[in-house]
Each structure stands twice: as structure tokens, then as C-alpha cells.
Structure 1
């Protein structure tokens, strides 16, 4: 009975925490796999993950690769085990924040560069200052402030 209650609670934790992870752009499977690895607190092979999640080994490999790209899981070595083992990164908050702040900063920079190119087109076309041009300058300023704020948050 105790094991059944623990299993039910574990499923509930996986379901709820994976919803948070999904908000950061991960698929449902990637989010659920990360939470499962985090709760397991032990390195696992792709075969073990496949069995636990009820998905193919190929799906596990793809999901692990995605999670690894964001430093949410790491490949570890264990004496006597010939297969790759993976475990969840224990510093969830810092990992998420650094990863996503970097992505948001890059996105803000990209948008700012694109908007500056449009501004140059205005200038090169000798179009007199207009409300559209003023709005464009406000949008560029918004992106500059956004980038500055994100960089400040990242320093914390």
C-alpha cells in the first residue's frame, strides 16, 4: 500500500513539475523525462529510461540530446557500465535561468539588430521623420532596455 501511494505521488509530481518545464519550450516527453531523472537521483541508461517512460529508445535519445543541449542532464561514467548513463543536473534554477536568460538576450539582440536595419532603410530613403519612425525608435529603445534588464538579472 505504501509503495502504491509513493508511486501515485511520484506520478503527480512528474505531471505537475513537467508543466513548469514545458513552459520553457520543452516537449511533454522531454519535460517528463527530466523530472523523472531528477526524482530518481541516479544515473540511468537510455534502455532504463525507455522502460520507465514507456517510450522508444530513439525517443529517449532525442529527448536526452535536447535536455543535454541545455545542460539539464549530463552524461556520466560508472565503473563497469559500458552504456552511456545520464543524470539530471541538480542545480535546476541556475541552469534554467542561465540558459533562458541567454536565449532571451540573444532574441532581444536579434530583434534589435533587425529593427536597426529597418531604421537604416528609413534614413537611406530620406523619408522625413514621421510617427512611424518615432514608434520604431521607441521599439528599438524597448529592446535595448529589455536586453539591459535581462543582463542585470543574469548577474544575480
Structure 2
């Protein structure tokens, strides 16, 4: 945002949308700059160059270049071509909701799987010990594993539904 647009009511609302929506996107493991850039591209009516992104967000070209590369890697944006324009142009891909939900669910499943494996390893260590509270602790570990498996079932169901 340039200084001359600072008092423009539309520009203020646009900045509020970017700020609030980017907070949501940060839950999906995007950093603040990546989230703001994605929302800027989403709100823009056409593809943007790195210079336009830099100008729109008031960030360095290096920051925009890094963020756009990350968004490309995540398959959230794509490079497009327009006749007569020599600079790279970028725009948001379609079906963002599905992409974000799929990424979110897959990350949760990976995390739950790691936690179940870690808890199972702990249980094996307990099985090999002779501690006087072994049975009580094993019971707690079993409950924790059961809890994580229940969560895993929920996320598996979401993943298998037409939702994603």
C-alpha cells in the first residue's frame, strides 16, 4: 500500500481483509508474508508481477520472490503468461478450500501417526521395566493411544469423504 492510498476507505477494507484472512491461512503452516501474498493474489482481479506484489504489500522483492516460490511449491499459485508482458505473472489456483483442507488433514494424520508410534515405543519400554507402578502407567499410555487412534479415525473419515 502506498502512502497516497493510506486514507482510501477501500484500501483500508482491503488491508483488513488481507490481515484477517491471512491469520486463518497461518493455521495451515504458511508464514505471515506467504499468507498475505496469497490473499493479495486471491483478491486481485488478474495475475500479478513480483513488482506489483512488492508494491501492494510494501515488502521487499526478495521477500516476495521467496514467498511466491513457496506458494508455487505448495501448488497454491501458478505462473501464467500474457501476451506482451515479459515479466513472470502469478495467480491463485482454483479450489483453494480443497487444497487447504487436504493439506491440513494430511498434516494432522502424519502428526497423529508419529504420536501413536512414540506412545507405542513408550509402552514397549514400560513392558521391559519392572517398576512398581508399571500397570498404572501402561493403562494411561493405552488410553492416550486410544485417544489418538480415535482422532486418527475422524481425520481418516474426513479424508475419505467427498469433502476432499
- Sort the TM-score into its range (normalised by shorter chain): 0.7 to 0.9
Inter-partner Cα distance in structure 1 for 2:153 and 2:56: 43
Corresponding residue number in structure 2 for 1:25: 29
After superposition, the C-alpha distances for 1:56-111 in whole angstroms (9 at most, x for unaligned) are: 11101221223233332222333444433221123221111001111111111111
Q: Is the 8 A contact 2:21 2:39 kept in 1?
A: yes
Inter-partner Cα distance in structure 2 for 1:14 and 1:86: 17
**TM-score, normalised on structure 1?**
0.85
CA RMSD of aligned residues (A): 2.2
Q: How does 1:47-126 map to 2 (within 5 A)?
A: 47-125=51-129
Can you give the 5+ residue segments of structure 2 that lack an aligned partner in the other structure? 1-7
Which of 105, 115, 136 is residue 141 of structure 2 equivalent to? 136
Shift of 1:19: 1.9
Q: Tell me the number of residue pairs that the alignment of Structure 1 and Structure 2 aligns.
A: 154
**TM-score, normalised on structure 2?**
0.81
Inter-partner Cα distance in structure 2 for 1:65 and 1:97: 21
Which of 130, 149, 155 is residue 154 of structure 2 equivalent to? 149
Inter-partner Cα distance in structure 2 for 1:118 and 1:84: 51
